[in-house]
Structure 1
Amino acid sequence: MLFSSLFSLRLWQWLLPVCVVLLGSGCASVEPRKASQPTFTTVYVVRHAEKDPAPSLLDPSLTAAGKQRAQTLVDTLRKAPITAIFSTATTRTRSTAEPLATARQLTVQPYDARQLRALAARIRREYKGQAVLVVGHSNTILETVEALGAPRPAPAVQDSEYDYLLEVRLPQDSTQAATAVARRYGVR
């Protein structure tokens, strides 16, 4: 009897700390998970909307159809969490960007279409994990995608095409490749 009592006592001396550790770990407070930052930066790239076709105009304005397309861009990107908008210095690009900038209470930031690598570096550096819009021209939007490190999602943009919406995803992990897809928006 004495032997079994000693055995039980030693068993409890060993089991008690184990039980305390196990019970304590089950009662430990669990920290809520922090909302994870997106694992990529999204860059939407569009050409300016329809412009006045008169060849004598150096800086043409948008046509009525162009103004409608600029408004359609607001609706198309309504769920996108745009935090910055970039445009070249022309009237047509600024006029395309302005309705979305007004809706989001953002300032349209100018960029030089001859310095696309600088724009890409700025977006990567200053807007990591965010979404931005870049408004350019038929001869710069595919080049913008390439400057961001993604392959062209379309072979070319014709002078008569105003409806491309290019979406570039820049992974935070620099070992992963950037991707781009081409969609259309508004009336063709």
Structure 2
Amino acid sequence: MKKLVLFLSIILLFTSSILAQTTEIWVVRHAEKDKSNPQEKDPELSDEGKIRARDLAEYLKKEKIDFGFTTPYKRTRTTLDSLVIPKVVNYTDIKSLVDSIKTNYVGKKIVIAGHSNTVLEIIEAFGGKRPREELTDDDYDFIFHLTVKGDKARVKMDQYGVPHHL
């Protein structure tokens, strides 16, 4: 009986320490894409986008990012290329992304590159409040910093690189 109580105590202690850890997540939209061929479904970054990707790396240079997550498109992957990240993982749906991070990456520092129609949904899926009503197709300069603890998330919005909204 003593061994069972000890075992359950250890599991409870381990579980509570995981739940007490804060995960830091930065969510960005991919940088500016090349729009020269409207038929291109998976365009590269434009020259302006490559500069913004470097600006993102500058913005996050003091952070030791553990993992990056991108959709399987060149523009999201290339947005994170200037950052020094040990591992970048593709994701295809928001629910699986959030479940995976909450299960496997608790206490880590993460950057997620998404799209104008997914960034705010990602924030909400982590339990954060939508800091803007929407992101337009021209909004490339916003970065959202989430601090996630359990099912609660605090969100701070900032801008990086050349401001789109002057």
1:133 to 97, 111, 128: 111
TM-score, length-normalised on structure 2?
0.82
Give the equivalent residue in structure 1 for 2:162. Answer: 187
Q: Which amino acid aligns with 2:133?
A: P
Give the equivalent residue in structure 2 for 1:29. Answer: none
- Structure 1 CA distance for aligned equivalents of residues 23 and 88 of structure 2: 19
- Structure 2 CA distance for aligned equivalents of residues 155 and 87 of structure 1: 23
- Structure 1 CA distance for aligned equivalents of residues 42 and 64 of structure 2: 30
Give the equivalent residue in structure 2 for 1:171. Answer: 149
Q: Is the 8 A contact 2:66 2:87 kept in 1?
A: no
Superimposed CA distance per residue, residues 11-45 of structure 1 (whole angstroms, 9 cap, x where no aligned partner): xxxxxxxxxxxxxxxxxxxxxxxxx9984111100
1:159 to 117, 137, 162: 137
- Structure 2 CA distance for aligned equivalents of residues 82 and 107 of structure 1: 9
The unaligned stretches of length 5 or more in structure 2 are 1-16
Q: Is the 8 A contact 1:43 1:168 kept in 2?
A: yes
Q: How many residues matched?
A: 145
Give the equivalent residue in structure 1 for 2:63. Answer: 80
TM-score, length-normalised on structure 1?
0.72
- Structure 1 CA distance for aligned equivalents of residues 21 and 70 of structure 2: 25
Give the equivalent residue in structure 1 for 2:31. Answer: 49
Give the equivalent residue in structure 2 for 1:62. Answer: 45
Q: Is residue 109 from structure 1 mapped to residue 108 from structure 2 by the alignment?
A: no
Higher relative contact order (CA 8 A, sep 6+): 2
